[in-house]
Structure 1
Amino acid sequence: MSKIVSTGSYLPADIVTNTQLVEQTGIDSSDEWISQRTGIKQRHFASADESLAHIASKAVENALERYGQDIRDEINLIVLATMSSHNPTPAVASQVQDILGIKETWAFDISGACAGFVMATEVAEKISRDYTSGYTLVIGAEKMSSILDFSDRSTSILFGDGAGAVLIQNDGQGLPNYRSELSSIPDRKDSIVVDPESDETDKMTMSGHDVFNFVVRKIIPSLSRFIQREASDFDYLLSHQANERLVGIMVDKLEIDVEKAPVNIDRTANTSAASIPILWDELIQDGTLKLQGSQKVVLTGFGGGLSWGHVTFDI
C-alpha cells in the first residue's frame, strides 16, 4: 500500500494576540469576548513580502527535511488547497514547484475553502494510484490576512496564516483502508464569499450564524454516519479548526472522548485549508501520531460552497 512518510508545517513568525488585534484594528471586541466565543487566543500573520507560495513552500521544505532524503525529482504530483490566492494563474502549486526546484511534475490547486484539504487529499489519493513509485505532495496553505477586512469583527478575529504538507510514497495501491465521502450544496445565502465585484475587492465576508447552523445540522450528522459505517474503530479525529465550541459540540454529538478530537485553534486561529495539516503535523511532532501503520484517523473539513468531506485511512 501507499503510505504517508512525512509531514511538515509552517506558521509565520508574527504572532498577534487578541488584545493586540483589537488595539491594531480598533474593532469593538476584547480578548475575553473572542476567547469565550471561539477559543482563539492568538494567530500568525505573514509579512507583506511573504507570499502564499512562500508559506506553502516552507511547509513542504519542513516535511522534506524531516524525511531526510532528497526526493524532489521523484515527486509525481502536487495538489494544493487554498482559498486565498489572488492570481488565477499560475497555480500556487506550480509556484511551489518552482521554488522547490522540482523539474517536472503535475501541479494544480483546489479551491474548497475550509473543506479544501480534505478535497485535495481525496483527489491526490485517487490520482496517485496511477503511480507505482515516486511521491505525492498534498498541501493546505493560506494567507488569510490578505483577504480579511480588518474592520469586520465577524471575520477579522477568526483567521490566521499558515501551511501544512503531507508527503505520500506511492505504490499504485492507495492509502491503507482509505474510505471517503465528499459533497456540496448551493450556498444561496452567500454564507462564505470573496466577491471581486464588491466595494471591498477580494475581501472575505461570512455569516457565522449560517455556517454554525450548517455544521451542526448537516456536517455533524453526516460525520456520525460516516464514522459508524467506515471508521468505528478510529483513533483520532482531525477536524477543521473553525471554532473550539464547534469541535466541542462535535465531540458531544458523536459521544467520543475529547482526547480523540485534538484542537490547536487557540494558538493558530482558523487557517482554513491549512488547519488540518498543521494540526496533523503538530500531533506527529508531539508523538500522538506515529506514521507506523498502527493508527486510524478520520479527517473532516467543511466550509465554502457549501462543501464538506470526510476521509479515513490508516497511518
Structure 2
Amino acid sequence: MTNVNAIEVSHLTKKFGDKTVVDDISFSVEPGEVFGLLGPNGAGKTTTLRMITTLLKADAGQVKIFGHDTVKEGRLARSMFGLTGQYASVDEDISARENLMIFARLNGLSRSDARERTAELLKEFSLEESADKALKTFSGGMRRRLDLAVSLITRPTLIFLDEPTTGLDPRTRTQMWDTIRELVKQGSTIVLTTQYLEEADQLADNLAIIDHGRLVKMGTPAELKREAGGSKLSFTVAQAAQVAAAAKLLASQVTGAVRQVGQQLSVSLSKVAELTPILAALDHAKITVNHLSIQEPSLDDVFMNLTVGKN
C-alpha cells in the first residue's frame, strides 16, 4: 500500500457541448504532499477537481484514489477523502456546533461520538468561543474554518481544498495556511486549487498548471521558477547621457534582451555569476548606477510565461 499513489489521474477528459473543458489530463499525487492545481479562471481546475471527487462524470479517462477506481469502487474511494469548496456548505441559521453535529451524524457517527468529534474540531479550528452563535454572525474566515472542519469530520487521509482562501483578508489567509501545514504534519495529503500564486508557492510540494483544459506544465515551485528565465537584474543609470552606452555594454555581456524604461535598464540573467563581469565593465566605463537589484523569478513569472496571450 505504501507504493500506491494518493491519486492517479489518467487521460481525464470532459466536454460541455462542443467545448472541451478538460483535455486529456494525466498526473499523480504522492501520499503526504501538497499538490497545487493552478490556472486562469475558466482553465478547467474546478472541473478537474469535480471529476476526481466524483461530483462530475468524466467523458473519458480514469481516476484512482489510493488505488481504488472512482467509478468501479466509488463508495470506497469517496470514503477516503474530504472536500472543501469555495463557499461553506452549511446552514447559516444554526450554530457551528449544530452544523458539525448534523454533518457528523450524516457521516454515520453515533450521537456521543458526534458530540466528541464536534468538540475536538471546534477546539482545533479556534471556534469554541463562537460555537453556539448563528453562522450568519460569522466572519468570512470563521466560515471557511468551519467548512474545513466539516470536511475533516471523518479524519480523511486525502483532503481537496477548492480555493480555500478566496476572499479572505491577509491575516486570516495566513491562519488558514498554518492550518493546512498542520494537517500535512499529521499525515494528510492535500490537493489545492488556488488563484493566489503566493499561496501555491508557500504551500505546494508539486504544481500542475492548467490552461484551456490542458496540462501545460508540472514540477516543484522551485523547478518552475528556474525555468522562468533566471534572475532579473535591474538598475538605474545615474546620468541620462550614459544610458545608451550602458545598454550597449549590458547587451554585450548577456544573451537576453535588454529592456529600457527611462534611465532604468533590466535584463534576465541565466545565472547570478554573470553579475560580477557586468559590474566590472560598468566600472571600467565609468558608468555610475543606482538602485541595483537582483530579483529571483516568481510563480507570477511562470504563470505569465505559460498562459500569457492565451486568454
Q: Please tell me the TM-score bracket, short chain as reference.
A: under 0.3
Between the two structures, name the one with larger relative contact order (CA 8 Å, sep ≥ 6): 1
- TM-score of the pair, normalised by structure 1: 0.26
